[in-house]
């Protein structure tokens, strides 16, 4: 076998797995666009070539590219790859010496086994990508919950007597915003947002969320009641990387000058008394 055509494959795929498959011939390679998706909603493609009388079904290096671009916990992703490659009997090929690119593949010798190999490679890609994304999501959830619990206690202790504090607060006057904590005086509001992140990506999102929510508050009917807009920023989080966050921090400080690092939390008493 020296070559393979879309017509040789696509009928088998649709017969075995349904109609949501398509094929594009690219030189001596077939790209199969599958119904499987990455966590970023992009469709999974696999690539078929014939080498030394064997049919090779490969991810085309796309999985390692996805991990590098999207996943911060690369060690976990690599562990997931190892586990799922055993489950689906997937091999890997490392291309290049200076800039390595990893291809995951499965080989077979007969055309009637290709659909099974495609199925295994697709499930491998989907399993690794989903597991890696889930791991980061759980890690981020734990980071937020841990920092929230610590910050709630600090806010409670810092608030002056007679000034009640509520947590995870929303206002009907600011329907698109929520605040980590709100201290309420007779005619004043102290709005507080916690910023943290288990990775740079999540820390950037948290900072952006603070900027937007404070802007919503400043444009709302409550703007004249707002005494302070306070950001409590976790500068001990793994995702806190000051150089990469500088632009967003400057934008936040344009919205409110009261940006406190976690290591400066003792200044909260003064801000809440003002």
Span 150-192, pLDDT tens digits: 999 999 999 998 899 999 999 999 887 889 999 998 889 999 9
Residue in 71, 63, 105, 73 with CA at minimum distance from that of residue 88: 105
Residue 127 and residue 21 share a domain = yes
Q: What are phi and psi of 195, to 5 degrees?
A: -125, 125
Residues 263, 272, 193: CA angle, nearest 5 degrees: 60
Same-domain check for residues 169 and 243: yes
Do 116 and 46 belong together in one domain?
yes
- Mean pLDDT of the 100-107 span: 89
Domain-located, residue 259:
yes
Q: What is this structure's pTM?
A: 0.55
Alpha-carbon torsion angle 131, 96, 121, 22, nearest 10? 110
| pLDDT above 70 (res 31) | yes
Mean pLDDT across 137-159: 89
Residues 123 and 236 placed together within one structural domain of the fold: no
Q: What percent of the chain has pLDDT over 90?
A: 47
Mean pLDDT, the chain, integer = 87
Please state, in angstroms and as integers, the Cα–Cα distance from residue 139 to each residue in 8, 68, 72, 179, 202, following that order: 45, 18, 11, 22, 11
Last residue of a domain, one of 73, 105, 138: 138
Confidence (pLDDT) at 68? 73
Domain co-membership, 10 together with 133 = yes
Q: Are residues 77 and 18 in the same domain?
A: yes
Q: Please, are residues 51 and 93 in contact by the beta-carbon 8 Å criterion?
A: no
> Is 145 inside a domain boundary?
no
The structural domain count of the chain equals 2
Are residues 59 and 99 located together in one domain of the fold?
yes
CATH code of the domain containing 217: 3.40.1350
Secondary structure (H, E, C), 85-115? HHHHCCEEEEECCCCCEEEEEEEECCHHHHH
Q: Are residues 57 and 26 in the same domain?
A: yes
Burial of 42 (0-12, 13-18, 19+ CB in 10 A): exposed
* Residue 81 included in any domain: yes
Tell me, yes or no, whether 261 and 219 share the same domain.
yes
Specify if 251 maps to a domain: yes
Q: What strand order describes the sheet that includes 22-26?
A: 22-26, 29-37, 43-51, 54-58, 101-108, 91-95
DSSP conformational letter for 178: E
For residue 209, tell me if it sits in a domain: yes
Of residues 153, 158, 141, the one with CA closest to residue 196: 141
The whole-number pLDDT of residue 71 equals: 60
Q: Has residue 154 been placed in a domain?
A: no
pLDDT in tens, 47-73: 999 998 899 999 999 988 887 766 655
Q: Is residue 135 very low, low, confident or very high in pLDDT (cuts 50, 70, 90)?
A: low
Q: Are residues 11 and 134 in the same domain?
A: yes
Do the Cβ atoms of 179 and 216 come closer than 8 Å? no
Specify if 87 maps to a domain: yes
The answer on 133 and 11 residing in a single domain is yes
CATH code: domain of residue 61: 3.30.1460
Inform me whether the pLDDT recorded for 8 exceeds 90: no
Structural domain span for residue 173: 159-273
- Whether residue 218 has pLDDT greater than 70: yes
Give me the residue label for tokens 């919503």: 216
């Amino acid at each position: 076998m020296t070559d393979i055509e879309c017509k040789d494959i696509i009928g088998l795929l649709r017969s075995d797995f349904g109609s949501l498959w398509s094929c594009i011939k690219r030189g001596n390679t077939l790209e199969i666009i599958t119904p499987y998706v990455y966590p970023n909603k992009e469709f999974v493609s696999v690539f078929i070539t014939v080498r030394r009388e064997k049919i090779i079904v490969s991810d085309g290096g796309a999985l390692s590219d996805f991990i590098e671009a999207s996943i911060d916990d690369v060690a976990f992703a690599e562990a997931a790859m190892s586990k799922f490659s055993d489950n689906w009997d997937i091999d890997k090929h490392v291309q290049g010496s200076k800039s390595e690119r990893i291809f995951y593949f499965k080989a077979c010798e007969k055309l009637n086994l290709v659909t099974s190999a495609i199925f295994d490679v697709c499930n491998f890609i989907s399993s690794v990508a989903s597991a890696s994304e889930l791991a980061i999501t759980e890690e981020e959830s734990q980071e937020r919950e841990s920092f929230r619990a610590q910050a709630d206690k600090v806010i409670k202790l810092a608030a002056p007597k007679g000034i009640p504090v509520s947590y995870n607060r929303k206002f009907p006057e600011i329907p698109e915003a929520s605040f980590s904590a709100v201290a309420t005086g007779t005619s004043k509001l102290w709005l507080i947002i916690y910023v943290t992140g288990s990775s740079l990506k999540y820390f950037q999102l948290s900072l952006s969320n603070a900027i937007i929510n404070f802007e919503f508050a400043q444009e709302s009917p409550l703007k004249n009641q707002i005494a302070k807009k306070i950001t409590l920023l976790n500068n001990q989080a793994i995702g806190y990387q000051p150089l990469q966050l500088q632009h967003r921090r400057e934008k936040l400080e344009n919205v409110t000058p009261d940006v406190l690092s976690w290591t400066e939390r003792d200044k909260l008493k003064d801000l809440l008394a003002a």
